[in-house]
């Protein structure tokens, strides 16, 4: 999960076809109830996002996952008996989810979020497996990974697992409410939000101490903000309704999602039941810091910052004020406010720069079926103008962000869009 990020992505048109059902519906392991429940849980886990290639068949795999270590290609999880999981048992599926090992004992690369999925209960794993067994099989061979040496040696994963993997189902905290615990299960486990919202080190892992503290998403040139810091994406001062609106509709009075987070909302979070969306909101509010930290000092010389901000006001009044307001007040939910906006204010300026350069659309959801978009300005504004308007927005109307340089704008202008 990546809330409140201004980002750009091509929204997947893939969607499940059956109606969403309550996660707490009949938990028996026979008949249609478990299949419907499994479909809901597969949506919550956003399985389709990774296991479907662009223009490919749902769940047939083949999507390239670019990493600093090379390209990983996702696997076919349709019930085809030759190329998919058609010969797997429920035990095989649970073992893979829970331990990060194939039924044969082979090691999964941690691009598969088994460090989160290990928390999924056996009942929920069985339901997801029942759903996957019910979808049309697709005969499509799995593609070999294209990893740099020595990362193509799977035995190296043993070291990664020692450092970063702790096997075990989710355990409720008796000191917390059932609603909080449900939210923790969804955020920490099935939703695997920490995969993006935790900093990734040089070994491709995150420490437990850094969970949800944010960081750059490798190879995507986007910043996934901290879910604990109220200066980034921490939701401590948001209302529960504003959080659930953002999760389910992709837009609320406090912000709008774009980019990779828009894809998550489109494929997954819009299908949350109201009860589960509220539970996630309760948990996310609970892990946020009590107050924001003071912003760091500007890295640009004072004279340069002053010139940028002066030029930025001119650009903003001409290009941005019509939608976002003269004073950054916006017209929520379609044109989000820029004043006191956490995604504008946070230390990293990567996302605001990319949003001005590339524009984008929030996801089309049941709660926001006709989203309003942000036009791209890469072809209209120079690097100096991009830096100027972002600097102006980040330092005006109570915002406390640092100015940015034309060099930063130029670097992101050349970055891939996905």
Q: Which range among 65-79, 126-140, 333-347, 350-364 has the greatest average pLDDT?
A: 126-140
* pLDDT confidence of residue 10: 27
Question: Any idea where the domains of the chain sit in the sequence?
Answer: 31-287, 302-413
- Please choose, from the candidates 155, 164, 161, the residue with its C-alpha nearest in 3D space to the C-alpha of residue 106: 155
* 175 three-state secondary structure: coil
* 308 three-state secondary structure: helix
pLDDT at 45 over 60: yes
pLDDT at 2 over 50: no
Q: Supply the DSSP string of 263-284, one letter for each residue.
A: HHHHHTGGG--HHHHHHHHHHH
pLDDT at 297 over 80: no
Kindly state the average pLDDT of the residues 194-206: 78
Kindly state the average pLDDT of the residues 214-220: 69
* pLDDT confidence of residue 218: 64
What's the pLDDT band for 414 if we cut at 50, 70, 90?
Answer: confident
Q: Which residue has the higher pLDDT, 43 or 299?
A: 43
* pLDDT confidence of residue 342: 79
* pLDDT confidence of residue 140: 96
* 146 three-state secondary structure: strand
* pLDDT confidence of residue 257: 85
What's the pLDDT band for 385 if we cut at 50, 70, 90?
Answer: very high
H or E stretch at 67: strand 64-67
Asked if the bond preceding 333 is cis, omega within 30° of 0, the reply is yes
- Please choose, from the candidates 152, 273, 189, 292, the residue with its C-alpha nearest in 3D space to the C-alpha of residue 233: 292
Query: Which is the CATH superfamily of the domain at 302-413?
Result: Cytochrome c-like domain (1.10.760.10)
For 18-57, b/e burial (b = at least 16 CB within 10 A) is: eebbebeeeeeeeeebbbbbbbbbbbbbbbbbbbbbeebb
Helical pair 406-413 and 350-358, crossing angle rounded to 10 deg: 60
pLDDT at 83 over 70: yes
Kindly state the average pLDDT of the residues 321-339: 89
**Beta-bridge mates of residue 251:** 256
Kindly state the average pLDDT of the residues 396-412: 89
What's the pLDDT band for 19 if we cut at 50, 70, 90?
Answer: very low
* 73 three-state secondary structure: strand
Strand order in the sheet with 64-67: 64-67, 70-73, 146-147
What's the pLDDT band for 9 if we cut at 50, 70, 90?
Answer: very low
Sorted by sequence, the CB contacts under 8 Å of residue 410 that are 6+ apart come out as: 383
* pLDDT confidence of residue 290: 60
* pLDDT confidence of residue 296: 52
Mean pLDDT is lowest, of 22-31, 142-151, 196-205, 291-300, for: 22-31
pLDDT at 25 over 60: no
Please report where in the chains the tokens 């019930």 appear, as a residue: 79
User: Mean pLDDT of all residues in the chain?
Assistant: 84
* pLDDT confidence of residue 310: 87
* pLDDT confidence of residue 68: 83
* pLDDT confidence of residue 204: 75
Sorted by sequence, the CB contacts under 8 Å of residue 159 that are 6+ apart come out as: none
Kindly state the average pLDDT of the residues 335-350: 84
What's the pLDDT band for 291 if we cut at 50, 70, 90?
Answer: low
First-to-last alpha carbon distance for the chain, in angstroms, is 17
Task: Dig out the tokens for 146 from the structure.
Answer: 């294209």
Sorted by sequence, the CB contacts under 8 Å of residue 321 that are 6+ apart come out as: none
User: pLDDT per residue over 219-237, tens digit each?
Assistant: 567 777 788 877 676 778 7
pLDDT at 411 over 50: yes
Q: How far apart are CA 301 and CA 342, in angstroms?
A: 24
Using CB atoms within 10 A of its CB, is residue 311 exposed (0-12), middle (13-18) or buried (19+)? middle
């Amino acid at each position: 999960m990546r809330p409140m990020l201004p980002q750009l992505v091509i929204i997947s048109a893939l969607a499940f076809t059956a109606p969403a059902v309550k996660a707490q519906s009949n938990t028996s392991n026979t008949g249609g109830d478990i299949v419907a429940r499994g479909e809901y849980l597969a949506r919550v886990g956003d399985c389709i996002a990774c296991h479907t290639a662009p223009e490919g068949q749902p769940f047939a795999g083949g999507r390239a996952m670019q990493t600093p270590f090379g390209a990983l290609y996702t696997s076919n999880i349709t019930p085809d008996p030759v190329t998919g999981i058609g010969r797997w048992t429920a035990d095989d599926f649970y073992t893979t989810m829970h331990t990060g090992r194939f039924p044969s004992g082979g090691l999964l690369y941690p691009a598969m979020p088994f460090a989160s999925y290990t928390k999924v209960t056996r009942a929920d794993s069985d339901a997801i497996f029942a759903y996957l067994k019910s979808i049309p099989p697709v005969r499509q061979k799995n593609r070999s990974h294209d990893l740099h040496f020595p990362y193509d040696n799977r035995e190296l994963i043993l070291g990664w697992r020692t450092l970063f993997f702790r096997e075990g189902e989710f355990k409720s905290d008796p000191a917390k409410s059932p609603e909080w615990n449900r939210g923790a299960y969804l955020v920490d486990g099935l939703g695997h939000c920490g995969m993006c919202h935790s900093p990734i080190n040089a070994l491709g892992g995150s420490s437990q101490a850094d969970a949800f503290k944010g960081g750059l998403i490798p190879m995507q040139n986007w910043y996934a903000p901290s879910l604990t810091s109220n200066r980034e994406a921490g939701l401590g001062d948001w209302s529960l309704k504003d959080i659930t609106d953002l999760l389910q509709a992709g837009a609320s009075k406090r912000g709008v999602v774009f980019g990779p987070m828009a894809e998550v909302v489109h494929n997954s979070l819009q299908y949350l039941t109201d009860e589960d969306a509220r539970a996630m909101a309760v948990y996310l509010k609970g892990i946020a810091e009590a107050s924001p930290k003071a912003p760091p000092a500007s890295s640009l010389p004072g004279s340069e910052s002053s010139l940028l901000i002066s030029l930025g006001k001119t650009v903003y009044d001409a290009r941005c004020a019509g939608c976002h307001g003269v004073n950054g007040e916006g017209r929520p939910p379609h044109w989000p406010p820029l004043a006191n906006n956490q995604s504008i204010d946070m230390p990293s300026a990567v996302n605001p720069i990319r949003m001005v350069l590339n524009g984008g659309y929030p996801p089309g959801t049941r709660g926001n079926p006709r989203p309003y978009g942000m036009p791209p300005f890469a072809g209209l504004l120079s690097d100096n103008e991009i830096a100027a308007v972002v600097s102006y927005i980040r330092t005006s109307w109570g915002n406390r962000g640092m100015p940015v340089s034309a060099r930063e704008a130029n670097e992101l202008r050349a970055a891939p869009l996905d």
